[in-house]
Amino acid sequence: MANRGSKGQSVWRRAAIALEEEPERRWLSFVVHHGARVLLLLLTALGVYLLFPAPRAPDATVFERGVVAPQDVIAEVAFDIPKIPAELLREQTEAASGVPPVYVLEPAASDSVLLGIGGLFASIDSILVDVPPAEHGASIRNFMERNRLSPTTNSVNLILDPQRRTTLQRSIERAVRELYPLGVAPSSLSQGVSTIRVAMPSGAERLVPRDSLVMPDRFYSLAAERLRGQGADALELQRLIMIRFFEPSLIYDAERTEATRERARAAVDPVRTRVLQGERIVGAHEQIGEAEEERLRAYQAELTRLGRGMDGEESGTGRAIGAVLFNALVLGILGALVFFFRRSLYRDLRGLIVLTALTLTVATTASLIARFSLPVELIPVTFAALIVAFLWDGRLGLTLALVLAVLIGGQTPFLGVTASFTIAVGGAAAAFSVRVVRRRTKTWHFVSIVAVAYVAAAVTIGLLRERGLMETGLSMGWGITNAVVASLLAIGFLPLLEAFTRITTDQTLLELSDLNARLLKRLSLEAPGTYAHTIAVANLTEAAANAVDANGLLARVGTYYHDIGKLVKPQYFIENQPRGRNPHDKLKPSMSAAIIRSHVMEGLKLAEQDKLPEAVKRFIPEHHGTQQISFFYNRARELDPDAQLNPADFAYPGPKPQTRETAILMLADTVESAARVLQDPNPVRIREMVDRLVSQKLAEGQLDQSPLTLREIDQIKDSLTNVLTGMYHHRVDYPTASPPAPAPVAKAASEPRPRDAVAAGGS
């Protein structure tokens, strides 16, 4: 409002005098304020250039598949066309799988086997010496069972026969000495291995086909040939003994195998083909296909490495300056929007830092995506758009998404329609989805909205560029992945960014509007009259805020918490007092006024303990402003006309309402309290009451510091009148069988209380 009051005028006057006396200081302040923001924009533009230092091509259409090249593109330098990562990985895997495993021949393995076999027969000889002859059979059987040799009558008799036992031992030892130096493979050798590489003790290596290997079964068969003529029982016992002490002489060397396979992977050529200098990459009036697009991008990458443009000329300072100016002008679109239409954000350096950080995050991720040839659908513009839409609104989120689409689409790796179109569609869907979905618990709703947008973009580009079903399907999958990951990250980072920017989002307000929240639950149980008053005022405030395009949700939530200070002493406020009992009757007016005033500070303490946002806490002191508690002030004068009263002791501490929402609450709070004692609340009387009370607030200067205009105040009065009329409309009198008996206290109940008394307790 125009009139700021005598105190406000003195402050502004002193400020004006100071500026007149110190023009240099005023100019310095101007330069620092705006210069910091311009510098932030230029640094962002420079940062994007450093992420994408490649010079721009003269015509972006040469990079787009499905379009016709306007002219011949001739290679000014020779360059390689690399294999795509998936192709290179597949070939490296195939090369590694073709490397046979390495096994080391261990001569000492035969010594270990011979030692075990010798120990077995030595134990048998010891048993035969130490045990009486009558017990030889039982003792040998028990020994064979302990050594898992499956004793039978014939095998026990064979062991008891010294000649046959010696023949068996020599046959086994001969087989080990003759076959182990050739290399005996382990049974764990995979059936899929057709060849192995054997490392000899001399250091030499040789390839051995699987068919030439001495596998365990073949080893047992070859050993059996050395025991011919001894019968089946002898052959079976020899097999069991060899199985019992078997150790392969070919030991798998995992480290050497992996080193050999790594050399095979490194040997795979990462280059698919080489284009020579002077070779035509694509001809004029030819449609660019997948192969031509790949060659063009490889050519641009080589020119970027050499610091040259598509025309083959060296990239100098002019190109670098042009690239930075391009980035600055594109980002300047967002800056101009903020400067002309979002002045509060322009003044908020924290908010501008968040916008800058989001822009650089998207640009950095896009740079990595270009470097590793990843899909453009993974560029996280959705993350940035969601954050901005949550913190501010969908319009700013949409603007940021479109600016990023132009910015990223103008960088060399993303020149053309595909990247900018995909980024714009995904970012726009993210910005709009926040308006559709307002609760964090419905995260999957806006994930679905963004995912559908990416699917639509993939289908559109697929049809436009004649892509195959597989490529289009992959594009859809990457877009859906972006939607899921970006949305979850945005929800996770949002509380941190809310705290940094000191912005209270609609999602936080919706969570605070839960009437089962701790403070509101306490209010409903401990101060039910205040709670009922709060709900009624909240309806008035939200309707009036929406009528003037203020934040209706913030107005409602702020109203819910504006009187929580009354929880400390609820019985001292009229709406919580039983009829006929008023504790103020026993107190001095100054003490009563102090108690009434204290609910503001008590409310701020409770709000601080509950960690309510600043936007909600300001409703507690500002809804009363600096109004006088006139009922107790007048009562104090009546009791002691000669007393020197300090008006500040009978007034709320303030400040006056600073926002439209807190100013609306002041008006709604006042008219709702007065309407409760209004005689015959018909529309005319309600309108007269609203006009009178609002005019009184204007005359007292309570709205001087709020941004409300006179036109908006008229709209607020209309809204308050309409809602109050609906709340207090006349109900139909239904006929009854007999008239009700008159209440003996009807006259007393209908008598109005002094409005100031109501204001002292309710407003």
Whether residue 137 contacts residue 153, with contact meaning beta carbons closer than 8 Å, is answered with no
Residue type, 473: G
464-493: pLDDT as tens digits: 887 889 989 999 999 999 999 999 999 899
Q: What pairs with residue 209 in β-bridges?
A: 195
pLDDT at 712: 95
Q: Is the dihedral of CA 551, 552, 557, 560 positive or negative?
A: positive
CA 97/CA 94 separation, integer angstroms: 5
Q: Which run of H or of E encompasses 294?
A: helix 290-306
Q: Which residue has the higher pLDDT, 683 or 76?
A: 683
433-448: pLDDT as tens digits: 887 555 555 678 879 9
CA 630/CA 638 separation, integer angstroms: 12
Q: Which run of H or of E encompasses 523?
A: helix 518-526
Whether residue 184 contacts residue 216, with contact meaning beta carbons closer than 8 Å, is answered with yes
631-668: pLDDT as tens digits: 888 888 888 887 778 888 888 998 999 999 999 999 99
Listed in sequence order, the DSSP H helices in 416-468 are 417-436, 443-464
Burial class of 337 by CB neighbour count within 10 A (0 to 12, 13 to 18, 19+): middle
> Does the pLDDT of residue 57 top 80, yes or no?
no
404-422: pLDDT as tens digits: 999 999 887 888 788 999 9
pLDDT at 61: 41
DSSP 84: P
Identify each DSSP E strand in 205-314 by its residue range: 205-209, 250-252, 271-275, 280-282
The CB density around residue 164, as the number of other CB atoms within 10 Å, is 17
pLDDT at 307: 62
DSSP string, 692-746: HHHHHHHHHTTTTTS---HHHHHHHHHHHHHHHHHHTPPPP----SSPPPPPTTH
The CB density around residue 120, as the number of other CB atoms within 10 Å, is 18
DSSP string, 295-325: HHHHHHHHHHHHTB-TTSPBP-HHHHHHHHH
450-461: pLDDT as tens digits: 999 999 999 999
pLDDT at 3: 41
Alpha carbons within 13 A on the beta-carbon side of 412: 28
Among 619, 636, 572, 574, smallest CA distance to 598 is for 572
> Does the pLDDT of residue 27 top 60, yes or no?
yes
Which distant-in-sequence residues (6+ apart) come within 8 Å of 270 by Cβ? 82, 83, 88
CA 177/CA 200 separation, integer angstroms: 17
Whether residue 422 contacts residue 396, with contact meaning beta carbons closer than 8 Å, is answered with no
Give the 3-state secondary structure of residue 161: coil
pLDDT at 11: 43
pLDDT at 609: 94
Q: Phi and psi for 674 in degrees, rounded to 5? A: -70, -35
pLDDT at 417: 86
Among 590, 589, 601, smallest CA distance to 563 is for 601
Computed over every residue of the chain, the mean pLDDT equals: 85
Cis peptide before 752 (omega within 30 of 0): no
Distances 288 to 61, 278, 285, 465, 470 between C-alpha atoms, Å: 10, 19, 9, 10, 19
CA 317/CA 321 separation, integer angstroms: 6
Among 500, 484, 455, smallest CA distance to 358 is for 500
pLDDT at 630: 83
The CB density around residue 24, as the number of other CB atoms within 10 Å, is 7
Listed in sequence order, the DSSP H helices in 548-584 are 552-561
Structure token pair of residue 336 = 């101009």
Whether residue 597 contacts residue 760, with contact meaning beta carbons closer than 8 Å, is answered with no
Structure token pair of residue 585 = 């009757």
Whether residue 126 contacts residue 220, with contact meaning beta carbons closer than 8 Å, is answered with no
pLDDT at 23: 65
pLDDT at 22: 61
Burial class of 733 by CB neighbour count within 10 A (0 to 12, 13 to 18, 19+): exposed
Whether residue 363 contacts residue 53, with contact meaning beta carbons closer than 8 Å, is answered with no
Give the distance from CA 732 to its chain's centroid: 56
562-604: pLDDT as tens digits: 999 999 999 988 888 887 678 887 788 888 888 899 999 999 9
pLDDT at 55: 52
> Does the pLDDT of residue 204 top 50, yes or no?
yes
Tokens 């073709």 appear where?
98
295-338: pLDDT as tens digits: 887 787 777 667 655 444 445 577 788 889 999 999 999 999 99
Percent of the chain at pLDDT exceeding 70: 88
89-117: pLDDT as tens digits: 999 999 998 899 999 999 888 899 999 99
